[in-house]
């Protein structure tokens, strides 16, 4: 992804001539909560009410949920590093990736472009569910885990999106929140090709994309 001069004006960069298309490029974090909290709860409760296999219990549910949340941290890192920061080879591709993520780097304080719009997040959620179903339902032969793992995955995504919004618009002056805010601001203003983790620096440490102090 090419990097652009930072615009701190209060007027959002217009992405489409069509007002209809432009509408879908803006979203409030409240909408993210309204959409995804019920989805996460549904798949978690589905795990509670579905029949338990003989000689087993519901003890796997918290483990499966936390597994999903952990898998989200890896998805967050890989999507941010390899998809959102992909270096396009053509003007058309550059335009597409600007719509994806470049506009956020060009105008990082735009309040309505800090969480993922549903036109992007919903298709990605379907793909994530398919991959988790393939992994846990078919490869690992743990079909009961699919629901709670997906629930944790969505909860991890929700935590990421709200944390991302907070790093740009809340003071976050103490503890881990101060660290996450400073870490993400360094990504924007110092090292746009590093520090890809937003909710956690874990995978930056593992893959060497966290610069030395």
The string of pLDDT tens digits covering residues 64-82 is 999 999 999 999 999 999 9
183-187, long-range: CB < 8 A, 24+ apart: none
Q: Is residue 27 in some structural domain?
A: no
Q: Is residue 213 in some structural domain?
A: no
Which pLDDT belongs to residue 95? 86
Cα distance between residue 36 and residue 155, in whole Å: 8
Which pLDDT belongs to residue 103? 87
Cα distance between residue 192 and residue 40, in whole Å: 31
Q: Provide the sign of the torsion angle of the four alpha carbons 165, 96, 72, 143, taken in this order.
A: positive
Q: Which of 160, 138, 147 is nearest to 70 (CA)?
A: 160
The answer to whether 61 and 47 are in contact (CB under 8 A) is yes
Q: Is residue 164 in some structural domain?
A: yes
* HEC letters along the chain: CCCCCCCCCCCCCCCCCCHHHHHCCCCCHHHHHHHHHHHHHHHHHHHHHCCCCCCCCCCHHHHHHHHHHHHHHHHHHHHHHHHHCCCCCCHHHHHHHHHHHHHHHHCCCCHHHCCCCHHHHHHHHHHHHHHHHHHHHHHCCCHHHHHHHHHHHHHHHHHHHHHHHHHHHCCCCCHHHHHHHHHHHHHHHCCCCCCCCCCCCHHHHHHCCCCCC
Measured in degrees and rounded to the nearest 5, phi and psi for residue 38 equal: -60, -35
The string of pLDDT tens digits covering residues 161-194 is 999 999 999 999 999 999 999 999 999 999 999 9
Q: Report the number of distinct structural domains present in the chain.
A: 1
Task: Please provide the distance, in angstroms rounded to a whole number, between the alpha carbons at the two ends of the chain.
Answer: 25
Q: Is residue 45 in some structural domain?
A: yes
Domain of residue 157 covers: 39-49+59-207
Q: Is residue 25 in some structural domain?
A: no
- Give whole-number Cα distances, 15 to 18, 99, 100, in Å: 9, 7, 11
Q: In a structure prediction context, what are the per-residue pLDDT tens digits for the chain, which is 213 residues long? A: 555 556 666 678 888 889 888 888 889 999 999 999 999 999 999 888 776 665 566 678 999 999 999 999 999 999 999 999 988 888 888 888 787 788 888 888 888 888 999 999 999 999 999 999 999 999 999 999 999 999 999 999 999 999 999 999 999 999 999 999 999 999 999 999 999 999 999 999 999 999 987
Q: Is residue 168 in some structural domain?
A: yes
Which pLDDT belongs to residue 9? 67
Q: Is residue 1 in some structural domain?
A: no
Q: Is residue 14 in some structural domain?
A: no
């Amino acid at each position: 992804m090419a990097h652009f001069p930072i615009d701190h004006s209060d007027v959002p960069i217009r992405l489409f001539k069509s007002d209809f298309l432009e509408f879908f490029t803006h979203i409030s974090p409240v909408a993210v909560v309204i959409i995804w909290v019920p989805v996460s709860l549904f798949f978690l409760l589905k795990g509670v009410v579905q029949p338990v296999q003989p000689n087993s219990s519901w003890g796997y549910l918290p483990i499966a949920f936390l597994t999903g949340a952990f898998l989200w941290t890896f998805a967050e890192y890989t999507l941010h590093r390899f998809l959102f920061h992909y270096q396009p080879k053509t003007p058309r591709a550059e335009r597409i990736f600007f719509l994806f993520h470049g506009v956020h780097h060009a105008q990082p304080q735009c309040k309505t472009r800090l969480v993922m719009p549903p036109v992007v997040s919903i298709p990605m959620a379907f793909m994530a569910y398919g991959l988790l179903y393939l992994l846990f339902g078919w490869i690992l032969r743990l079909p009961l885990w699919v629901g709670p793992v997906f629930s944790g995955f969505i909860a991890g995504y929700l935590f990421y999106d709200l944390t991302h919004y907070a790093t740009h618009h809340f003071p976050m002056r103490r503890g881990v929140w101060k660290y996450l805010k400073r870490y993400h601001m360094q990504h924007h203003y110092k090292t746009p090709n590093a520090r890809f983790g937003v909710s956690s620096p874990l995978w930056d440490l593992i893959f060497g994309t966290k610069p030395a102090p």
